[in-house]
């Protein structure tokens, strides 16, 4: 059986999520370039050197996309605003077309009876700021606070919820240590700095938005249970180190104003001087925490002597098109762990959860039954956590549309709606109709 809305409280919010660079088409509307454009133009970084210049052209087809959201019966649409679309240089002059776009989009969401959930930064760093060191440069944080104020000045009166940043682990560790996302660095000093500065940017934007009278403010973190690959002590230590880096660093900073010792062990020598002085602004009160969850990871010690001295190992569970294990229990565990250890009664939202599959159009239809099962199991996990006391207020599927999956290009399909990237035709998948049926009692 597919999920049943009656298992959730009346006001529980069901939505779907997207992000600007992945769907809008950055070439439209006088947007500035961002570091993904140049990262993608560098051989070997993105499958087929694909980029977000056209994507789903949501910039043109946004009304059609919002109609799809409305017809599915969603309560809310989670989208991000593009910094380079609004401020092509990342500072100073505003592109009026960019601001107008988000103004229309927010009204379009409201006109269709849904709540707008905005994220201010989902990875599209303006190129001129990247040239000055991007998230390794402290100045980027102040520019981000200015940009946050500009956006919220225009749409803040109508949005239901505002997240400053999406997935700081990806913005920093994945992009500066593992080199898999823009700017593609593999450098521990850049990693430590970006891990700190992205939190400082969040804190500075929070302060600015509070001062200018906004509420409903928080941030979106990604979590992945880090489990030992075997029974050994060494693997347990490897998993604990990765748990500290991935799952504890950001939530501990924003809720307790500190970083975990296991992660400081490798990162502290590379943090900016006097980083402790920033922890107060980083840990100011939040109105919610967004939780993005997809899978778990297994860790064991690496032969490599350099910190963190861990490596991940393929697990035995069923895999998605991304090669990620399907592990719904992890979502329940993470939600309960966050409630018990860090957030208490502060509202939690599952702001992203979804599965990539090699969907194929057959007779004009897409029978993505695996996606239906994935969604059902993860909603079940969410309902379990709710019934055990976690204060979860909503669940957003990632993603409404097939889109630009970063380093994987357009090959990995997460959408409820299939997009033909040649014609840009949208075709709702079986999972879309299943959700629609459950949400509309149809």
Q: H/E/C letters for each residue in 224-282?
A: CCEEECCCCHHHHHHHHHHHHHHHHHHHHHHHHCCCCHHHHHHHHHHCCCCHHHHHHHH
Q: Provide the minimum distance between the beta carbon of 379 and ligand IFM in the complex, in angstroms, as a whole number.
A: 18
The number of helix segments (H) and strand segments (E) in the chain equals: 17, 13
Q: Provide the minimum distance between the beta carbon of 352 and ligand IFM in the complex, in angstroms, as a whole number.
A: 5
What residues contact 342, with CB distance under 8 A and at least 6 apart?
251, 252, 255, 256, 289
Nearer to ligand IFM, 46 or 279 (CB): 46
Report if residue 398 touches ligand IFM, rule: CB under 6 A: yes
Report if residue 352 touches ligand IFM, rule: CB under 6 A: yes
Report if residue 83 touches ligand IFM, rule: CB under 6 A: no
Nearer to ligand IFM, 167 or 332 (CB): 167
Closest CA to 196 of 263, 142, 250, 240: 250
Q: Provide the minimum distance between the beta carbon of 412 and ligand IFM in the complex, in angstroms, as a whole number.
A: 8
Neighbours of 92 (CB within 10 A): 10
Nearer to ligand IFM, 36 or 275 (CB): 36
Residues between 327 and 346 with contacts to ligand IFM, criterion CB under 6 A: none
Nearer to ligand IFM, 238 or 334 (CB): 334
Q: Provide the minimum distance between the beta carbon of 61 and ligand IFM in the complex, in angstroms, as a whole number.
A: 19
Nearer to ligand IFM, 191 or 295 (CB): 295
Q: Provide the minimum distance between the beta carbon of 426 and ligand IFM in the complex, in angstroms, as a whole number.
A: 18
Query: Site mask, ligand IFM, residues 8-27, x = CB under 6 A?
Result: -----------x--x-----
Residue nearest to ligand IFM (CB): 19
Please say if 405 is a catalytic residue. no
Spatial distance between the Cα atoms of 199 and 171, rounded to a whole number of angstroms: 11
Nearer to ligand IFM, 57 or 352 (CB): 352
Spatial distance between the Cα atoms of 114 and 66, rounded to a whole number of angstroms: 9
Report if residue 165 touches ligand IFM, rule: CB under 6 A: no
| 310-313 and 297-301 beta bridge pairing | antiparallel
Nearer to ligand IFM, 88 or 168 (CB): 168
Closest CA to 120 of 76, 159, 85, 81: 81
**Of positions 24, 57, 115, 167, contacts ligand IFM by CB under 6 A:** 167
Q: Provide the minimum distance between the beta carbon of 122 and ligand IFM in the complex, in angstroms, as a whole number.
A: 6
**Of positions 333, 359, 405, 435, contacts ligand IFM by CB under 6 A:** 405
Residues between 413 and 432 with contacts to ligand IFM, criterion CB under 6 A: 414
| 217-223 and 161-166 beta bridge pairing | parallel
Residues between 24 and 63 with contacts to ligand IFM, criterion CB under 6 A: none
Residues between 263 and 322 with contacts to ligand IFM, criterion CB under 6 A: 292
| 348-352 and 297-301 beta bridge pairing | unpaired
Q: Provide the minimum distance between the beta carbon of 322 and ligand IFM in the complex, in angstroms, as a whole number.
A: 7
Please say if 352 is a catalytic residue. yes
How many residues sit close enough to ligand IFM to count as binding (CB under 6 A)? 8
What residues contact 151, with CB distance under 8 A and at least 6 apart?
81, 86, 99, 102, 118, 120
Spatial distance between the Cα atoms of 123 and 382, rounded to a whole number of angstroms: 27
Closest CA to 371 of 321, 440, 330: 321
Catalytic residue among 224, 252, 300, 352: 352
What residues contact 344, with CB distance under 8 A and at least 6 apart?
391
Catalytic residue among 24, 167, 252, 405: 167
Q: Provide the minimum distance between the beta carbon of 125 and ligand IFM in the complex, in angstroms, as a whole number.
A: 14
Q: Rounded to the nearest 5°, which phi and psi values hold at 253?
A: -65, -45
CA torsion through residues 80, 124, 335, 257, sign:
negative
CA torsion through residues 417, 420, 421, 426, sign:
negative
Report if residue 325 touches ligand IFM, rule: CB under 6 A: no
Nearer to ligand IFM, 242 or 292 (CB): 292
Active site residues per annotation: 167, 352
Binding residues for ligand IFM, rule: CB under 6 A, are: 19, 22, 167, 292, 352, 398, 405, 414
């Amino acid at each position: 059986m597919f999920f049943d809305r009656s298992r959730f409280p009346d006001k529980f919010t069901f939505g779907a999520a997207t992000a600007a660079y992945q769907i809008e088409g950055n070439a439209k509307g006088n947007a500035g370039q961002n570091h993904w454009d140049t990262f993608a133009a560098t051989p070997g970084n993105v499958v087929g050197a694909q980029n977000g210049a056209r994507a789903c052209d949501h910039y043109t087809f946004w009304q059609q996309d919002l109609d799809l959201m409305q017809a599915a019966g969603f309560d809310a649409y989670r989208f991000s605003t593009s910094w380079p679309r609004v401020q092509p240089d990342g500072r100073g002059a505003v592109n009026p077309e960019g601001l107008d776009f988000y103004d229309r989009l927010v009204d379009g969401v409201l006109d269709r009876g849904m709540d707008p959930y905005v994220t201010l930064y989902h990875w599209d760093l303006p190129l001129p700021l990247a040239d000055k060191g991007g998230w390794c440069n402290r100045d980027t944080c102040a520019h981000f606070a200015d940009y946050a104020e500009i956006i919220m000045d225009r749409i803040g009166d109508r949005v239901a919820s505002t997240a400053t940043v999406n997935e700081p682990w990806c913005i920093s560790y994945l992009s500066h240590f593992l080199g898999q996302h823009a700017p593609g660095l593999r450098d521990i000093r850049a990693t430590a700095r970006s891990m700190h500065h992205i939190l400082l940017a969040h804190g500075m934007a929070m302060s600015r938005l509070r001062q200018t009278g906004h509420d409903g403010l928080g941030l979106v973190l990604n979590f992945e249970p880090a489990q030992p690959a075997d029974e050994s002590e060494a693997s347990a230590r490897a998993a604990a180190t990765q748990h500290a880096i991935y799952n504890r660093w950001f939530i501990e900073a924003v809720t307790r104003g500190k970083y975990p010792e296991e992660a400081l062990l490798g990162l502290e020598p590379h943090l900016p001087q006097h980083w402790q002085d920033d922890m107060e602004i980083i840990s100011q009160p939040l109105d919610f925490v967004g939780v993005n969850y997809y899978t778990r990871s297994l860790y064991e010690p690496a032969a490599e002597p350099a910190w963190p001295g861990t490596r991940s190992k393929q697990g035995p569970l069923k895999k998605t098109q991304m090669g990620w294990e399907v592990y719904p229990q992890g979502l329940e565990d993470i939600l309960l762990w966050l409630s018990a250890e860090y957030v208490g009664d502060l509202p939690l939202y599952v702001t992203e959860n979804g599965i990539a599959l090699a969907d194929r159009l057959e007779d004009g239809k897409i029978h993505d039954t695996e996606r239906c099962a994935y969604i059902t199991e993860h909603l079940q996990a969410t309902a379990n956590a709710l019934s055990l006391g976690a204060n979860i207020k909503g669940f957003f599927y990632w993603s409404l549309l097939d889109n630009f999956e970063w380093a994987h290009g357009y090959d990995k399909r997460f959408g409820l709606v299939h997009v033909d990237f040649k014609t840009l035709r949208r075709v709702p998948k079986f999972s879309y109709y299943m959700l629609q049926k459950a949400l509309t009692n149809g």
